Amino acid sequence: MTNKPRRHHFIPQFWIRRFQSPDGKLWSYDKNTDRIGDRSSRQLMQIMNLYTVQPNGADDTTLETVDLNKIDAQGSATFDRIINGGDRSQAAKEALASYLAVQILRDPDVVASFAPRAQELTMSLLETFDAPDFASFRGRWEESFPGASITEAEFNHIKSLGLQDAEDALEQIILALVSQGGVPELPFTDVVKNPDGRNIVRDRLLTFNWTVKTDAAGRFILGDAGVLYNKGDMSDLRAALSRDVALYLTPTDAPALGISSTIAPEHDIQNLNLENAARARRWIVGDKQELDRLKSQVGSQSLPDPNNS
């Protein structure tokens, strides 16, 4: 009998531990119990078998134990470089963009969306039969599915099958995507093992201006949503990296090289903490006084999402 790890952290422990208090305690608020307590990072921000792949009925946890562990080790080193080392270079920016891209794509809500989105992409190939020509189809299709590509030969092959045979072939792909037990080629697996997919997100992040904001009092908190951005258009982004450092990405037509830095104004600290609390599924970690303050607002109910107000 093997003891495979079943509790998979969607926010890695190295990140969570950056919100420990100076005395080493990790204060966390649990929305489910409405309680604040000192807890181990192992207990927080994880889901059973989130990244387990089950090819042919034999479950495989190496995505968590090998692939994501390697990525998280690189991410931890990049956090150290920026937070502790004060590195604000373009190289540090690109390294953190690569890690944040993975973090965005490993979020449980995003992971759950991979199969439906892959099904949507697959079925959209039937639109070849309504398209007047390859160029018009490719333009619409690649706009709808950023990062996807199709060649004229592939377009012509689909059309040559005829509508019924094409439907049958695509249906088999859909059945594989939703088959009970899973398949090795799950879209999320590919994103982790192959950087091409996540590079689309990384490149988008690098179109912003990057600013690190600091709070000497160490009041930033981390919610289990981790990276905060507007769903869909990703028009900006925010992330508390530690108790005293937060990252802000803002839109620009001409992104500056490297990362700028400034002291966080009070309203930025409060707004980011409020948003972290509002978007958290269950857990918030950080300064106990901040958690006490937010608990009185949250209670056992979620705060309103600032993006929906």
Q: How many domains does the chain have?
A: 2
Same domain, 53 and 105: yes
Residues 40 and 146 in one domain: no
Same domain flag for 148 and 269? no
- Domain range enclosing 25: 7-110+198-308
Do 205 and 274 lie in one domain? The reply is: yes
Based on the fold, state whether residues 90 and 214 are members of the same structural domain.
yes
Residues 12 and 100 in one domain: yes
Residue 193 in domain: no
Structural domain includes residue 40: yes
Q: What is the pLDDT of residues 150-191, one digit of tens each?
A: 889 988 888 888 888 888 887 777 666 555 444 444 455 555
Q: Is 173 part of any domain?
A: yes
- 238 and 120 in one domain? no
105 and 203: one domain? yes
**Residue with the larger pLDDT of the pair 278 and 47:** 278
Same domain, 92 and 121: no
Among 262, 258, 251, residue whose Cα is nearest residue 213: 262
Residue 233 lies in a domain: yes
Assigned domain for 42 exists: yes
Q: What is the pLDDT of residues 85-141, one digit of tens each?
A: 999 999 999 999 999 988 888 877 766 666 666 677 777 888 888 888 899 888 888
What pLDDT was estimated at residue 80?
Answer: 95
Asked if residue 188 belongs to a domain, the reply is: no
18/104 same-domain check: yes
Q: Which of 288-303 are b and which e, b meaning 16 or more Cβ less than 10 Å from the residue's Cβ?
A: eebbebbbeebeeeeb
Both 208 and 118 in one domain: the answer is: no
